[in-house]
């Protein structure tokens, strides 16, 4: 058998891989900035979209609750009886209105000699006294100039309001008492008023007394002043009389008539006024 010589192939040197140079990374700053801005914009858009979806979800399920406005406090004095106090104009006092519970009654009324109104409930639990006086301080001989002087206390009193005018609470002074009282001036300060509400001394109605007193004060209204009762008059029983301001109640008495500008009253005077020995009257001062 013929021997065959098998020759192993001669291997050449191994082919080592040739290193390929990496691509140069572009590090241009503008590219980096634009990339960051794009990421921020994308994140902001996603966040706003999420917020918008959340808001829609909340609004879809939200029910508007309408809180009813509190009911108006009923006026407890609406059905009370109104008393119109109109003193005789000759007294110089002013008129006013006041409301009291319907079951109360008037037990004392003003007259020409006094200016006091007294009211009482049918069960004799409460008594209301309203007194109207001329503004005159007998100690100084002059009108009162302040509430503090009128009250006569060395300290300031609690101030309330009666028909727009300040009113000083003179009673109670210390602790719960059975009498409430306020003092206040008329709008022209020529008069002053005292309103007093009292209850039995057992103080069982002290709390109710204060509430009732406040309600009564809220109904007091001035309806006239002493100034509105003054008119320009002339006295025809006198030969020489000039028009002056007088109380309206004097018209028709003792020859007093309402004076009319430009009217000649000579013929209405006594005939004796035309006698020669009377002489001429002095001219009247201008009005």
Q: What is the CATH number of domain 81-224?
A: 3.40.1000.10
End-to-end CA distance of the chain: 176
In this predicted structure, which of 18-22, 71-75, 126-130, 136-140 has the lowest mean pLDDT?
18-22
Q: What angle do CA 227, 91, 186 make, to 5 degrees?
A: 45
Residue that wins the pLDDT comparison between 36 and 60: 36
Give the pLDDT confidence score for residue 105 in this predicted structure: 94
How far is Cα 128 from Cα 101, in angstroms, rounded to an integer?
11
Give the pLDDT confidence score for residue 132 in this predicted structure: 94
Which residues, in sequence order, are bridge partners of residue 168?
A: 159, 183
Q: Is residue 255 scored above 70 in pLDDT? A: yes
What strands lie across the sheet with 127-134, from one edge to the other?
105-108, 116-120, 127-134, 191-198, 179-185, 165-171, 158-162
How far is Cα 250 from Cα 236, in angstroms, rounded to an integer?
13
Nearby residues of 49 by Cβ (< 8 Å), 6 or more positions away? none
* Mean predicted lDDT score pLDDT of the chain: 80
pLDDT in tens, 172-212: 877 667 899 999 999 988 899 999 999 877 667 778 899 99
pTM: 0.56
Give the pLDDT confidence score for residue 65 in this predicted structure: 45
Report CA-CA distances (Å) from 190 to 109, 135, 273.
Answer: 21, 5, 39
pLDDT in tens, 257-281: 888 888 888 888 888 887 777 667 8
3-state secondary structure of 127: strand
pLDDT in tens, 77-131: 999 999 999 888 778 888 999 999 999 999 988 665 568 999 999 998 999 999 9
Q: Is residue 63 scored above 50 in pLDDT? A: no
Q: Is residue 33 scored above 90 in pLDDT? A: no
What strands lie across the sheet with 221-222, from one edge to the other?
81-85, 96-100, 221-222
Q: What residues does each domain of the chain span?
A: 81-224, 229-278
């Amino acid at each position: 058998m013929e021997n065959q010589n098998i020759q192993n192939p001669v291997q050449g040197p191994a082919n080592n891989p040739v290193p390929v140079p990496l691509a140069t990374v572009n590090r241009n700053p503008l590219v980096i900035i634009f990339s960051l801005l794009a990421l921020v914009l994308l994140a902001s858009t996603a966040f706003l979209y999420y917020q918008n979806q959340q808001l829609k979800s909340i609004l879809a399920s939200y029910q508007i609750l309408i809180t009813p406005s509190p009911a108006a406090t009923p006026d407890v004095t609406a059905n009370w009886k109104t008393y119109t106090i109109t003193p005789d104009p000759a007294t110089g006092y002013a008129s006013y209105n006041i409301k009291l519970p319907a079951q109360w009654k008037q037990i004392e009324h003003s007259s020409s000699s006094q200016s006091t109104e007294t009211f009482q409930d049918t069960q004799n639990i409460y008594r209301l006294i309203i007194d109207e006086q001329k503004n005159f301080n007998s100690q100084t001989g002059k009108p009162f100039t302040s509430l503090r002087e009128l009250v006569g206390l060395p300290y300031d009193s609690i101030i309330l309001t009666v028909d727009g005018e300040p009113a000083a609470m003179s009673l109670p002074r210390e602790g719960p008492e059975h009498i409430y009282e306020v003092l206040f001036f008329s709008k022209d300060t020529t008069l002053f008023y005292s309103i007093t509400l009292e209850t039995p001394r057992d103080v069982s109605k002290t709390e109710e007394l204060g509430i009732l007193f406040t309600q009564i004060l809220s109904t007091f209204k001035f309806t006239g002043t002493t100034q509105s009762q003054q008119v320009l008059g002339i006295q025809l029983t006198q030969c020489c009389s000039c028009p002056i301001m007088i109380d309206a109640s004097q018209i028709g008495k003792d020859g007093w008539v309402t004076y009319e500008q430009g009217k000649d009253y000579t013929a209405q005077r006594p005939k004796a006024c035309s006698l020669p020995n009377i002489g001429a009257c002095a001219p009247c001062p201008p009005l």
